[in-house]
Amino acid sequence: MRVDIVTIFPDYFGAGAGATGAGPGSGGVSGPGRPSEAFGGVGPLGVSLIGKAGARGDIDFRVHDLRKWATDVHHTVDDTPFGGGPGMVMKPDVWGAALDAVLADAGTPGRLAEAGTPGRLVVPTPSGVPFSQDLAAAYAKESRLIFACGRYEGIDSRVVAEARTRLPVDEVSIGDYVLAGGEVAVAVMLEAICRLLPGVLGNERSAADDSFGGGVGEGGRMRGLLEGPVYTRPRSWRGIEVPSVLLSGDHGVIARWRRDESLRRTAAVRPDLVSRVAADPDGLDARDREVLAEAGFPVGGENMAH
């Protein structure tokens, strides 16, 4: 997978002066991005599983400094909003030039719709659709993702409108709060996406057993639910014992216990998720309904409360 990130803070991603980009007239993106291993353990792209995947070449990260496409001496990227109001809006001409160059770097001039695999442009914004495990799994199947990090009051809306004529574009929010810019949101999304790529997680089964059951395929046993409690050695710690069922060696019983715990935790802290799973005809079995009823959350049949 190739990942391009356009930002005014390449340092945030550990790219610093190594960020790619070229000013107008110099032919757009100036060549391959800083090799991922050059992130050298720095920033969210350089550490942990993502850092290793980048170093192996499984993910080709390219970080671009938006200011390289600003034409004035101060490298201005923002201006006051039409219609008045507080804050500044990012300029369409600067973003347009940046996206033209980054998209053209796919090797196809002009309209990318004709190019086979234009990839997908993802614009983090609090006004976007909610990011989710399902979206992470969908993005993990793309061969190229381009992230456009806004700052201030956002990017002039014509940039997304124009980009939509050329490639799929998603405006995505990572939660109902306002960050100072899209960089942290991109780091969050990339962590969720990249761990789903083949070979990144090491143990492929763990993604399916996660909260939300987030595999790239059908989704795992925990689909739509939160993960329950986990334990490791020692068996007894500060007087607290590991639940004996986990020591039983009976995989069927253990799997059922884990699902029961998941259902209890989900009912306690995210009843909205239980309602969603319950609405799926294949979402809950008879034992699930029993556990939820015991947890004070009756679903299904004549007990349908949610």
Nearer to ligand ADE, 101 or 187 (CB): 187
Q: Can residue 182 be called a binding residue for ligand ADE (CB under 6 A)?
A: yes
Nearer to ligand ADE, 155 or 299 (CB): 155
Query: CA of 97: how far to CAs of 25, 132, 297, in Å?
Result: 11, 30, 54
Active site residue 126: yes
Nearer to ligand ADE, 100 or 183 (CB): 183
- Per-residue DSSP letter, 165: T
Segment contacting ligand ADE (CB under 6 A): 63-71, 167-175, 197-205, 243-251? 167-175
We find the least distance from the C-beta atom of residue 153 to ligand ADE, in angstroms, to be 10
Burial (CB count within 10 angstroms: exposed 0-12, middle 13-18, buried 19+), residue 184? middle
Q: Can residue 185 be called a binding residue for ligand ADE (CB under 6 A)?
A: yes
Residue recorded with tokens 């780091």: 187
Residue recorded with tokens 């998603």: 170
Among 173, 206, 211, 275, binds ligand ADE (CB under 6 A): 173
Cis peptide before 234 (omega within 30 of 0): yes
* Cβ–Cβ under 8 Å, residues 146 and 121: yes
Pairing of strands 120-130, 144-148: parallel
Q: Footprint of ligand ADE on residues 221-280 (CB under 6 A)?
A: none
Rg of the chain in Å (alpha carbons): 23
We find the least distance from the C-beta atom of residue 124 to ligand ADE, in angstroms, to be 3
Segment contacting ligand ADE (CB under 6 A): 36-44, 77-85, 174-182, 261-269? 174-182
Among 17, 73, 178, 286, binds ligand ADE (CB under 6 A): 178
C-alpha to C-alpha distance for 136 and 154, rounded to whole angstroms: 23
- Per-residue DSSP letter, 68: G
Give Cβ neighbours of residue 66 (< 8 Å, ≥ 6 apart): 6, 7, 8, 21, 77, 94, 95, 98, 149
We find the least distance from the C-beta atom of residue 189 to ligand ADE, in angstroms, to be 8
Active site residue 264: no
Q: Can residue 283 be called a binding residue for ligand ADE (CB under 6 A)?
A: no
Active site residue 195: yes
C-alpha to C-alpha distance for 201 and 198, rounded to whole angstroms: 8
Per-residue tokens: 49: 């599983």
Q: Can residue 87 be called a binding residue for ligand ADE (CB under 6 A)?
A: no
Q: Footprint of ligand ADE on residues 100-129 (CB under 6 A)?
A: 124-126
Residue nearest to ligand ADE (CB): 124
Give the 3-state secondary structure of residue 149.
coil
C-alpha to C-alpha distance for 289 and 49, rounded to whole angstroms: 37
Active site residue 153: yes
* Phi then psi dihedrals of residue 208, to 5 deg: -70, -30
Nearer to ligand ADE, 142 or 183 (CB): 183
From 67, 195, 223, 258, active-site residue: 195
Active centre residues (catalytic) = 126, 153, 195, 210
Residues binding ligand ADE (CB under 6 A):
124-126, 173-175, 177-179, 182, 185
